[in-house]
Structure 1
Amino acid sequence: MKTTTLAIIAALAFLFQMRAQTFNKEVIIDGQAPYLLGKIDKHGLESNNYQSWFSTNFEDYNVNDTIISSIAPELKHYDITVFMGTWCGDSKQNVPKLYKVLEACNFPMDQLTVVAVSRAPNLYKQSPQHEEAGLNIHRVPTIIFFKDGKEVNRIVEYPIHSFEEDIEQIITNTNYKPNYHIVTIVNDILEEKGVKGLLGKQKKLVKQYKEIVQHRFELNTYGSILYNKNRTEEAIAVYRLNTKLFPEEPRTFMSLANTLGATNRKVDAIQVLEQALKLHPENSDLIENIEVIKSN
C-alpha cells in the first residue's frame, strides 16, 4: 500500500513538473520587466510579477448578472482562445475582466486556451509554438470564439460595449463586427486572392472604408506584423492601401517608402516620398526621409 501511495505521489509530482514546464513560462532579461510566454493559465497571471494588475482589474470589474444568466448556457458550447501580452496595457486591463465574466458563466476552463505572446522584435506578438499562425493576430488581446472547430467571431483589443454584451452578440448575432474590422477584410483578401487581389480591390476598399477606419495605425500595425513575418510584398500592399485611406498623414507614406527602401527598391521609395511632398510640401520629416534614402 505504501509503495502504491509513493508511486501516486511521484506520478503527481511528475505531472505537476511537466505542467510547470509547459505552462506559465517566464522570460526574465536583465534590466527589463519579466513577461510570460507561451501557454499560460490563471495561476500564472496570479503569480508575483502579474498579480497586482490582474487581481485589481479582476476584483474591480462588476459583471452584468442579467446578461450572464442569458449567455452562460450557450457559451459552454464554445471554445475560446485568447492571445495576450503580459507586457501590454490593453491585455492587463481586459483579460482579468474576461476571466471574471467566464467564471461568472461557469465556463469550462478546459475549453479556454490562453497564449502569452512575445514583445521581442524578432518574435513580436508571436509565441514559441506559434499558436497564432494563420489566425491573423495583429492586436492583443485577441479573444477568438470557436464552435465545432470553426471560428465564429472575435473580440480584438477591447470590447465594443462590454464583454457580456459583446459575447451575447457573438453567440446570437452573426453581424457582430470587432474593432479593426478593416484588418479582417484585408487579411481575408490576402489569404484568398494574394497581393494582386488586394491591389485590384484597393479603390473599392477606399470608397467603402475611408470614413470607417478611424486611424492609420489600424493597418499600419498589421503591415508591421506582416513585415516581421517576412511577408514583405503583402506588407507593402497594405502600406500602399493605407496611403490611400490616409493621404493627409505623411507617416503612412514613410512607412511604405521605408519598407520599399529596405527591400532595395530605392527608386520606388523616393517616388512615394515625392508624391507625399506634393501633398505636404512643408513637412520636414518627409524631406529628411528622402535624403536618408538617397544617401543609402
Structure 2
Amino acid sequence: MRKITTIVLSAFLFSATACASDNKPFTGEITGVKLVTNYDDFKAEHESYDVAEADVALIKNIDRPLDIHVLFGTWCHDSAREVPRYLKLLADAGNKNITTKLIGVDYKKTADEKYDLKYTPTFIVFSEGVEIGRIIERPKASIAQDLADIVNQ
C-alpha cells in the first residue's frame, strides 16, 4: 500500500509541477542564458542543434549594426525550436554588430502595440531604429539566410 501511495503522490506532484509551469508562461525580457537554462525544451534544442558553417559565415559578414527583437512564447513549440537555434547561431558567429532583445509573451501574445504581434516567434530586425524586416514563426531558408536577405534588400 505504501508503494502505491508513493507512486500516486509522485505522479500527482509531477503533473502539478508540469501544469504550474505550463499555465504561467514567462513574460517580459529575458537573457538567452536564462532562457536556455530554465526552459527544458529550449535547452534541449540549443544543445542538440548543429549550426552550419555557411550560416555562421553569413552572420559574420553582417557589417552594420542591427537590433533584433525576438518575441516568443515559452509555451510555443515554434519558439522552442527557432529561438535556441538563433541564439546558438549568434554565439557561434560572434558578430558584435548584432544585439538582441528577447521578449516573452503570454498565450494571447500580448506585447507592446508597436510590434503588431500575431505569431510566435517573431524576429523583428531594426537598423538605426527602423524596422527593416521580420522572420515570422519559421525562416524561409534558414535564420542566417533570412537575416542576410533582410539586410541585403
TM-score by length of 2: 0.77
Check 1:83–1:75 CA distance in 2 against 1; reply closer, same or farther (3 A cut). Answer: farther
Cα separation, 1, equivalents of 2:95 and 2:25: 26
Cα separation, 1, equivalents of 2:30 and 2:63: 21
**Percent of aligned pairs with the same amino acid:** 28
Corresponding residue for 1:40? 30
Write out per-residue CA displacement over residues 185-230 of structure 1, whole angstroms, 9 at most, x where no aligned residue. xxxxxxxxxxxxxxxxxxxxxxxxxxxxxxxxxxxxxxxxxxxxxx
Structure 2's unaligned 5+ residue stretches are: 1-16
1:39-78 correspondence runs (5 A): 39-48=29-38, 50=39, 52-74=40-62, 77-78=65-66
Q: Secondary structure at the match of 1:39?
A: strand
Q: 2:140 aligns with which of 160, 163, 168?
A: 160
Write out per-residue CA displacement over residues 130-167 of structure 1, whole angstroms, 9 at most, x where no aligned residue. 3xx12221000000111011011010000011112212
Indicate if the aligned counterparts of 1:64 and 1:164 stay in contact, CA closer than 8 A.
no
Corresponding residue for 2:100? 112
Cα separation, 1, equivalents of 2:18 and 2:50: 37
Check 1:36–1:75 CA distance in 2 against 1; reply closer, same or farther (3 A cut). Answer: farther
* Corresponding letter in the other structure for 2:53: D
TM-score by length of 1: 0.42
1:103 lines up with 2:91 in the alignment: yes
Which is richer in helix? 1
Structure 1's unaligned 5+ residue stretches are: 1-28, 175-296
Give 1 or 2 for the bigger CA radius of gyration: 1
With a CA cutoff of 8 Å and minimum separation of 6, indicate the structure with the bigger relative contact order: 2
Write out per-residue CA displacement over residues 239-258 of structure 1, whole angstroms, 9 at most, x where no aligned residue. xxxxxxxxxxxxxxxxxxxx
* Corresponding letter in the other structure for 1:145: V
Cα separation, 1, equivalents of 2:58 and 2:105: 32
Indicate if the aligned counterparts of 2:68 and 2:100 stay in contact, CA closer than 8 A.
yes
Root-mean-square deviation (Å):
2.3
Corresponding residue for 1:148? 128
Check 1:76–1:54 CA distance in 2 against 1; reply closer, same or farther (3 A cut). Answer: farther
* Count of residues in Structure 1 that have an aligned counterpart in Structure 2: 135
* Corresponding letter in the other structure for 1:113: K
Which is richer in strand? 2
Cα separation, 1, equivalents of 2:121 and 2:63: 19
